[in-house]
Amino acid sequence: SAPVIETRGLGYVYNPGLPTEKVALRDVNLQIERGEFVGVIGQTGSGKSTLIQQLNGLLRPTSGQVLIDGEDIWQDKEQLRRFRFKVGLCFQYPEYQLFEESVYKDISFGPKNMGLSEGEVDARVRDAARFVGLGEEMLDKSPFELSGGQKRRVAIAGVLAMDPEVLILDEPTAGLDPRGRDMILGQIKAYHAEKGNTVLLVSHSMEDVAKFATKVLVLNDTGVLLYGTVDEVFSRAEEIRAIGLGIPQITQVFRALRQRGYPVSDTVYTVAQA
Ligand code: ADP
C-alpha cells in the first residue's frame, strides 16, 4: 500500500520574486510508512516548520506534491479539508490557542467541527484526555486555572481528539521542566504504541529522538540530509557532526540507543568524538 506520507520534488519559496525571496525547501522526496515514529531534526532555519505546515495543507507547495495515503492533498479544495483532519498538527506553545471556558470544550472543538455526533465527540474527548493524563475532574475546569504543563496537555489532547492518522508535534516539550517533558513524551509514546498511528516529532533534543523515534529525518538548508532508522542515522559519524551534535549529546544519544538494544558500535562512537 502507499506510504502514509509521500513528497515528490517538494519545494517551498517564501516571497517569490521579491528581494526577500527565500528558498526554504528544495526537492524533498520522502516516503514515510504508516506507524513510524519519526524524529524531525535540523538546525533553526532548516525548514522543519515549513515542511510540517505543507504536510497538513496549511502551506501550498510552490513546487512538487504532498501525498497522503497516495493522494495529492491539493487535487481539489473539497479534499483538502479531509486531509487537514487526517494530519493533526500541534504547534509550538499550543496552549496560547486555548480559548474555551472549559477544558472539555477546548478538547471537543476539533471533533465537533468534523461533524461527529455528540456521543462520538464525548468519547473522543474522554479518550484524548486519558492519553495525556488529564483526569475527569479536570474537564470542567477553565483552562486558565491550570499550570503550564497541564495547559500544554489540554492543547495536545485537542489534536488527539481529532484522531489524526498522522500526528505532528512541533517541540511539544518546549519550555517545560524535565518532569513535564518526560511526562508528555511518555504519553506520546504510549499513544503511538496503542494507536499504531504515524507520529512526527519535531525536536531539538537528539536525546529525545534517540529515546523515542523509530526513524529520523534530518533537514539541512538544502532539504533532506538523511532519512533512516535511528541507529542508521546516528551511526553516520561524518554527518552527525554536521547536524550539530556535540560530544555530550552524542554520549546521551548513544546511551539511549544502547538502552533500546540497538547495536551501536564503539568504533562509530570514537569516530564521532574525533
Ligand atoms: P525551522 O522550522 O527549521 O527553523 P523554517 O521552516 O521556519 O525552519 O524556515 C526555513 C527558512 O525559511 C528559513 O531560512 C526562514 O528564515 C525562512 N522563512 C520561514 N518563514 C518565513 C516567512 N514567513 N517569510 C520569509 N522567510 C521565511
CATH number, residue 163: 3.40.50.300
Query: How many whole angstroms separate alpha carbon 117 and alpha carbon 125?
Result: 12
Task: Quote the ligand 1 centre to 136 CA distance (angstroms).
Answer: 40
Query: How many whole angstroms separate alpha carbon 187 and alpha carbon 190?
Result: 5
| DSSP secondary structure string for all residues of 118-150 | HHHHHHHHHHHHHHTT--GGGTTS-GGGS-HHH
Does the structure show a pLDDT above 90 at 11?
yes
For residues 256-272, give the mean pLDDT.
70
Task: Quote the ligand 1 centre to 173 CA distance (angstroms).
Answer: 21
Atom of ligand 1 nearest to the CA of 46: 3
Structural domain of 139: 5-273
The cell for 78 is: 473539497
Going by alpha carbons, the residue nearest to atom 12 of ligand 1 is 24
Query: How many whole angstroms separate alpha carbon 211 and alpha carbon 131?
Result: 19
Atom of ligand 1 nearest to the CA of 43: 3
Please count the structural domains in the chain.
1
Going by alpha carbons, the residue nearest to atom 21 of ligand 1 is 14
pLDDT digits (tens, 9 = 90+) for 136-178: 999 999 998 999 899 999 999 999 999 999 999 999 999 999 9
Strands 71-72, 63-68: parallel, antiparallel or unpaired by DSSP?
antiparallel
Q: Which amino acid is at 127?
A: D
139-174 burial code (b ≥16 CB/10 A, e <16): bebebeebeebbbbbbbbbbbbbbbbbbbbbbbbbe
Q: Quick check: CB of 45 below 6 Å from ligand 1?
A: yes
pLDDT bracket for residue 201 (50, 70, 90): very high
Task: Quote the ligand 1 centre to 13 CA distance (angstroms).
Answer: 9
Does the structure show a pLDDT above 70 at 271?
no
Lowest mean pLDDT among 67-81, 106-120, 132-146, 252-266: 252-266
Q: Give the H or E element holding residue 166.
A: strand 166-170
| DSSP secondary structure string for all residues of 45-96 | TSSHHHHHHHHTTSS--SEEEEEETTEETTS-HHHHHHHHHHEEEE-SSGGG
Q: 217 by DSSP, 3-state: which? A: strand
Going by alpha carbons, the residue nearest to atom 6 of ligand 1 is 47
Q: 102 by DSSP, 3-state: which? A: coil
Does the structure show a pLDDT above 80 at 246?
no
Enter the DSSP assignment of 107: H
Q: Give the H or E element holding residue 220.
A: strand 215-220
Residues composing the chain: 274
For residues 44-73, give the mean pLDDT.
95
- Rounded to the nearest integer, the mean pLDDT of the chain is 90
Q: Quick check: CB of 16 below 6 Å from ligand 1?
A: no
Query: How many whole angstroms separate alpha carbon 263 and alpha carbon 269?
Result: 12
Q: Quick check: CB of 50 below 6 Å from ligand 1?
A: yes
pLDDT bracket for residue 77 (50, 70, 90): confident
| pLDDT computed for residue 270 by the predictor | 58
Q: Quick check: CB of 92 below 6 Å from ligand 1?
A: no
For residues 213-236, give the mean pLDDT.
86
Q: Quick check: CB of 48 below 6 Å from ligand 1?
A: yes
| pLDDT computed for residue 249 by the predictor | 74
| pLDDT computed for residue 171 by the predictor | 95
Query: How many whole angstroms separate alpha carbon 120 and alpha carbon 12?
Result: 38
Task: Quote the ligand 1 centre to 259 CA distance (angstroms).
Answer: 35
Q: Quick check: CB of 222 below 6 Å from ligand 1?
A: no
| pLDDT computed for residue 238 by the predictor | 62
ipTM value of the model?
0.98
The preferred substitution site among 14, 54, 217 for testing ligand 1, maximizing ligand atoms within 8 Å of CB, is 14
